[in-house]
Structure 1
Amino acid sequence: MGEATHKILVVEDDRQIQSFIGYALEQDGFCSLSANSGHSAMSLLISEPIELLLLDLGLPDCDGMEIIKRVREWSDMPIIVVSARDQDREKAAALDAGADDYLTKPFSATELLARIRVAIRHLRRQSGEKPQAVYQVGELKIDMEKRLTYLQGEELHLTPMEYNLLALLFKNCGKVLTTQYIIREVWGVGYGSDTQALRALMAALRRKIEKNPAKPRYIVTEIGVGYRLVDE
């Protein structure tokens, strides 16, 4: 029950799904509140110390995308979208608007809770007084302070662009990053939207860190959306 201090708001107008999520959260030790409309969600977000938002996009009084945009005006709380909308452009739009993750219905309680734990780890890192310098996933490690990377204890020789891409993924470990977000962060806002350079850079990085680049262990492709560094 150690996670009970984390208060999660479930915004979902389907009572059955709302109950399913609420039960799963409480069984795992979280404290959950629920709202079935955008208006009631905003009221709770303003009045309660919510730490994580689970948000359905199809609300009766507004589009969930508007909730994401409004919350991002004043809060960095993790936002996980849970929606029946499975189009790649819908997922990318939600992530670009500020959502941290996206789960397509139907989903299992196990997957939902795993995504929540990843989001809470990010929350803890962000709230720490000293920024984390060393990150590790499996046998892949990065030292942000020294700008060094290691695989199985051996130093990797990455180009500056390869390092910047890997560092960005490590800082957002477990989160899906859209291609446009990665391009903006790695190349800058004036680069444009051409994804060919990103695909080439990703292929070069995978050749250095993956045993089998065709079946990556560390950096997985979220088809039509972007990439994610797995959180083991």
Structure 2
Amino acid sequence: MSRRIAFVAAQTGEAAAAHAALVARYGEVPLDQADVIVALGGDGFMLRSLHRHMARALPVYGMKLGTVGFLMNQYGLDELESRIEHAQPTVLRPLLMEAVTEAGSSTTSLAFNEVSLLRQTKQAAHVRVLLNGVAKIEELVCDGVLVSTTAGSTAYNLSAHGPILPLGSQLLALTPISPFRPRRWRGAILPAITEVKFEILDPYKRPVSATADSHEVRDVTEVHIRESREQTVTLLFDPEHNLEERILNEQFEL
């Protein structure tokens, strides 16, 4: 079956050259006429593409032309249509973040990897952690704290010593960043239906920002996070290198 392909490429020389070669080989259609998007770049570009084109509800097949490519397939000029046709779909459900600021404004954003809170000054953040409306930690003293999806569990979450979550496990990772108090708390694994709320204690003296993937909101006073029930995206992966297998293998990297 012939696919109507729309290409999107990162603004790098390597991605631009690959874009030109692929269009010359396979042609392309505008996004509003496509039935699949091929994204050329790294993971950062993939995340931006998912946010930018999510409303189109098109599957996205990525090819690695950047420094990090966990969400991408290997780049190759040959047999692209066959690779797309035999690719395995992976459905991702993003996190929905609602952040309230000191000024009283409210901002909503989606995150496919994680929502992270970080201190804005040299002062440690003091954060109350609530799950489904119940306070679980009255005062977490830390550089920050994050909530990660399964797909994002191998990104910032892993760097912060959080757990790797199997794809499709219906779980979230709640991971502190450089925690000071409580001393022995290293995070939690939560059911994906959990609603997480962070309340910032003393936000004027100890300001905190909240970031959903790359969208930052500064001077927040409280942040609500839950898995989106309305929006999903579908990534396509080559069968021999699917995302579930990558997440599994990541747990054995030394």
TM-score range, shorter chain: 0.3 to 0.5
RCO higher in structure (CA 8 A, sep ≥6): 2
Larger helix proportion of the pair: 1
TM-score by length of 2: 0.33
Higher strand share: 2
Larger Rg: 2
TM-score, with length taken from structure 1: 0.35
